[in-house]
Amino acid sequence: MNTNKSMKTAITGALLIAGTLTWVAVHANPDVELPALQTQGDVTYMTGGIGDQEAAAMKHAESHYPLSLEFVQHANPRDQFKADIKVTMTDKSGNVVLDTTTDGPFLLANLPNGKYTVSAADEKGKSVVKHVTVAAGKSEHVMLVWS
């Protein structure tokens, strides 16, 4: 039996286990709860992401939602998250399907397939508008940026 090969295999295994445990500690922290789900009409959604751990949990959860919105203020030396954003979503017929104010820089929404207009206004009344398409089996991430 080759001792060097056995030692390398043991070290590689230990590193993989350590890496996996680190990933679990960072990404699956059971102490970090996602914000409560809310419902408005046919739309189920959550808003939040205040603090590093909740923001990471929201980013991790976004793949389970057809639409995720992220609100950002362009700034130097780096962009900053925005919260308390007034969000209005309308369908292609102009019907309001969601009208809410965010509790953090993320909004995750389960909504029917279709084309939507997202209008987001900050505390100063400055608006950003995006057109999005929600399709079956896809997760759409949209960043709304204020300059």
Instruction: Domain ranges for the chain, please list them.
Output: 1-30, 38-146
The string of pLDDT tens digits covering residues 85-131 is 999 999 999 999 999 999 999 999 999 999 999 999 999 999 999 99
CB 36 within 8 A of CB 44: no
pLDDT of 56 reads 92
Q: Where are the beta strands (DSSP E) in the chain?
A: 38-40, 43-48, 67-73, 80-81, 86-91, 96-101, 106-110, 114-121, 127-134, 140-146
The string of pLDDT tens digits covering residues 8-37 is 443 333 333 433 333 333 444 445 688 999
The confidence band for 78, taking pLDDT boundaries of 50, 70 and 90, is: confident
Tell me the CATH number for domain 38-146: 2.60.40.10
pLDDT of 2 reads 55
Sign of CA dihedral 21, 46, 116, 125: negative
**Mean per-residue pLDDT, 25-52:** 80
pLDDT of 33 reads 82
pLDDT of 31 reads 57
Q: Look up the pTM and report it.
A: 0.76
pLDDT of 76 reads 86
- 78 contacts: CB under 8 Å, gap ≥ 6: none
Asked if the bond preceding 77 is cis, omega within 30° of 0, the reply is: yes
pLDDT of 141 reads 94
CA-based max dimension of the chain: 73
What is the Cβ-side half-sphere exposure of residue 127, based on CA atoms within 13 angstroms?
10
Backbone angles phi, psi at 104, to 5 degrees: -175, -170
d(CA 11, CA 19): 12
d(CA 35, CA 46): 6
